[in-house]
Amino acid sequence: MADDDYVYDEATGEWRPAAEIAAAAAAAKVARDAAGNVLADGDSVTLIKDLKVKGANQTLKQGTVIRSIRLTDDPQEIDCRHDTIKGLVLRTEFVRKR
């Protein structure tokens, strides 16, 4: 893109530089835990409340440590494994970075 490219922002009703719009979109896709800490692939997290796991008839207790998380396309979800549950997807609002 050239420096003089502008994009109409419907939220504000203004023409804004395309680079500014792209930077705002990239910043919006950052995964954060319940405390606001930035999460990255391979981080370890701790559950902040008991969670009933659908389809497994099991409850993950508060304080359970989940290691080696993977980020997904949705910044509000992380993909992870637990010793007894494979293919587990958790919402970032229920975890805290260790």
The answer on pLDDT for 33 being more than 60 is yes
The answer on pLDDT for 4 being more than 80 is no
Please spell the DSSP secondary structure of 4-46, one letter per residue.
T-EEEETTTTEEEEHHHHHHHHHHHT--B-TTSPBP-TT--EE
Calculate mean pLDDT across residues 63-89: 92
Q: How confident is the model at residue 3 (pLDDT cuts 50, 70, 90)?
A: low
What is the number of other CB atoms lying within 10 angstroms of the CB of residue 64? Answer: 15
What φ, ψ does residue 15 adopt, rounded to 5°?
-90, 125
pLDDT computed for residue 2 by the predictor: 57
The answer on pLDDT for 40 being more than 60 is yes
pLDDT, tens digit, for every residue of 46-66? 999 999 998 888 999 999 999
